Structures are given as structure tokens and as C-alpha cells.
Amino acid sequence: MPRIAVATPYFDFFPDLKAEFEAKYPGTKFRTNREKFTEDQLIDFLKGAEVALIGLDKFTDRVCASLPDLKVISLCSAGVDHIDPAILNKYGIKMWWAAGINKVSVSELAVCFMVFTIRKVHFFSSILRRGEWKGPIGFAADLRGRTVGIHGCGFIGQEVVKLLQPYGVKIIANDREDKSEFYKQYGVESVSPEELWARSDVLTIHLSRNATTIGMYSAAVLDKMKPGSILINCARGSMVDEKALKERLESGHIAGAAFDVFDVEPANGHPLLDVPNFFASPHIGATTRESWGAMLRSGIHGIEHAYRAETGVYPFD
């Protein structure tokens, strides 16, 4: 029986799943404190463990070097950009991660943001709080009849396409892989990035964060977006130049934006939060009960199904 330590604290929200886990792996060590671990605290908690179930904990060279017994890390997370496969391989540590496990929750949030932003719900809510009523007529627009661009048509992007089917929108998409069969089935037009930026009334980002996507939405790219368009990001921070976005929201070149993610999180006090045509949430895309249950189950599954991660191979490409 492997010695297991669970660094993610969220099993306490799923007592039945925790009991099932303990029955299968007696003696598992669970964390209950939900405050973010320091590097030293992570090392101390995992001392002697052969398997670690983790959330967004970073396994630096120092962490791995300090845990000679560790053989497997199993990720209970939607993303993997906090893991460096080269470091894991240096210390002979295998990992487990399942792609797309949160696709329903994130795609629902993305579509919600589209409607919320184009209908300017945030603005109308603010005037109601000020004691006003109605606001300007014709200030908002319908999503129906618009062109929605999807940048990255993997698990989540495809789920967004499915959810948009009843909305009566034109869907265009860009993905580095051939998704022609899926596009044909759901009436999606494959376009280049340049076309995506130029034609989208609403553009939603569903890319992985890696060396090719960090900083992709630079000032120059934001300038290529259709004037008066809306930008949605429920993927990862660091892909959009936030300073440049603020300037273009204030100028009106981009009519509105809704983000669930930021370069630096927590993003309390971020300058974008003061921009009236910007709406944000605190990285809640995968925080539904259904997503967390699926991610925790995936972490348990990974104890016996870990693999050797490869630098330059998905999802580390």
C-alpha cells in the first residue's frame, strides 16, 4: 500500500468520496487547512509520502529534491501549467492529469459571460444599485445573429460550440489541430488567427497556457480585433496584455471584456476592475461541485495510472 498525502484540502467538501478514498487507501494523510502552502510547508506536509494528490501546488527543483520518497504526483486540477516535466523527470517522479475534466463548467461560464457582456448586465446592475432605473435604450445588443470566434477548439472550446447551437450565431474557430470533422458536424468555419480577430463580434479564448500562448494577445493583436468587439477569457492569465486591454476598453475599440483569470492572482485591486465595461470573477470556472468532484476522482484514479511526462509533448507544448 503506497504512502499517500493529499495536499489539496477539498475532500472535506465530499465526505462520501473521502470515505471511499480512505477505504481503498487506509492511512492516507489529508490536509484540512485551506491556506496556500509555502514551499517549506509543502515539503513538510509531503515528507515520507510516495504519492501526492495535489491542486495548484508548484513542484520546484527544491521541493522535489527535498522529497526523495516521492514517486507520483496526481493532479486534481484543470490545468497543468504549474508543473515542469523536466523537474519531475530529473527526480524520477511520474504524474497524472486528465484533460477536459472541467469542460462543462468552464464552457457554461464562457457562454454566460458572452450574454452578460453583450447585454451589459454589469452596467445595468450598477445603475440599479445607484437607485436609477432602466438606463439608455438600445445600449445593449443581442447575441443572436453575431459572429462568435473561438480561439482554441479543444475540450472546452468544443463544449462552447455545442452550447451555442440554439443561439443562432455564426461560429468561427481557430485551432492548431485539424478539427474538420467536428466543425462539419456543428457548422463551424475554420479560420486563420487573423480572420478570427478581424471577424469576431465576440471572441472567447480557450487555449492552454504555454510558451506559444503567453503574451499572444498583445497590444498589436488587440488592435487587429474587430472594432466594438467583446473579449472573453475563461482560460488562463498571461495570454492577454492587461494594460493594453485596459487602454482599448477605455477607447472603445474593444466594447467589453469579461475575464475569469488574470496574470497575477488573486487580482484584488487590479486596475481593470475600475473599468466600467470590464467584468471579472475570481477564477471560478472549475469551482462547481460537479467539476471538483470529477477532479478529485481523477486524482484518485491517477494513483495507479501515472505516466512519465514529456517536455514539448501535450500538455507541455
Instruction: Tell me which residues are annotated as active site.
Output: 236, 265, 283
Q: How far apart are CA 29 and CA 224, in angstroms?
A: 51
* Residue 62 and residue 82 in contact, taking contact as beta carbons nearer than 8 Å: no
Cis peptide before 193 (omega within 30 of 0): no
Q: Distance of CA 198 to CAs 10, 178, 240, 259, 305, Å?
A: 42, 21, 17, 20, 44
Q: How far apart are CA 83 and CA 285, in angstroms?
A: 20
Q: Distance of CA 302 to CAs 46, 137, 199, 298, Å?
A: 17, 54, 42, 6
Cis peptide before 266 (omega within 30 of 0): yes
Contacts of 296 (CB under 8 A, 6+ apart): 8, 10, 11, 14, 17, 76
C-alpha cell at 226: 474587430
258 closest CA partner among 266, 249, 269: 249
Q: How far apart are CA 185 and CA 6, in angstroms?
A: 42
Place of cell 467538501: 13
* Residue 74 and residue 53 in contact, taking contact as beta carbons nearer than 8 Å: yes
Longest pairwise C-alpha distance within the chain: 66
85 closest CA partner among 77, 94, 76: 94
Q: How far apart are CA 223 and CA 217, in angstroms?
A: 10
